[in-house]
Amino acid sequence: MKALKEIVSWIVPIVIGLLVALLIKDFVFQLVRVDGPSMQPNLENNERVLVYKQSQIRRGSVVVFDAHGVDPQAVAKTDYVKRVIGKPGDTVSANNGNLYVNDKKVNQDYISSSERSTGTGNWTMASISQANRWQKNMGATKVPKGEYFVLGDHRSVSNDGRYWGFVPKKKILGVVKVPFWDTNKTKRNNVNKQWNEFFE
């Protein structure tokens, strides 16, 4: 009986700890790894960042979402990291490397002029939906209700909303935060706080 009590005294704290860890992962935050160059220079390939699941999604927020069923080429359990540019009801367009949301110019100081303009062209949502043959929302002029328009920071290499359309809110896992221990303050601000200065 004494041995059983001793075993239980070890097992119960371990089980409680595992349950707390699972609850935190499912409802509060989790650590994720960035895969690929599409968010350079602000997030690097293989960099680990925190994803907060209860944070408000704003224009300029960097988010992680389940790309399966969003990007036709994404297989199951594929997560993408991108920046929210358009919220439900917004119009988004590009002209000479400048981005416009609801006809207001977006502040893109967080990326270089080549990253915002090389290979991106001039477009509206309706024109890119037709040029890239979106499977859903072909010809859309506004971001649909309950969905978001996202772009990678390194526009010339990013596979993002320009090519496949919008991200449903239910697919978004959470908002990315570069942790405080990352010593690059500029990069932290470009990811964590850029939404404060979204428009010029």
Catalytic residues, by residue number, are 38, 82
Closest CA to 176 of 68, 67, 81, 110: 81
CB 149, CB 172: distance < 8 Å: no
For residues 157 and 36, what is the distance between their CA atoms, to the nearest angstrom?
9
For residues 153 and 110, what is the distance between their CA atoms, to the nearest angstrom?
8
Which amino acid would we find at residue 184?
A: N
Sign of CA dihedral 152, 95, 113, 189: negative
CB 79, CB 67: distance < 8 Å: yes
Residue whose structure tokens are 């990013």 = 158
Strand ranges inside 87-165, DSSP E: 92-95, 98-101, 104-105, 123-124, 147-151
Pairing of strands 98-101, 92-95: antiparallel
- DSSP summary character for residue 127: H
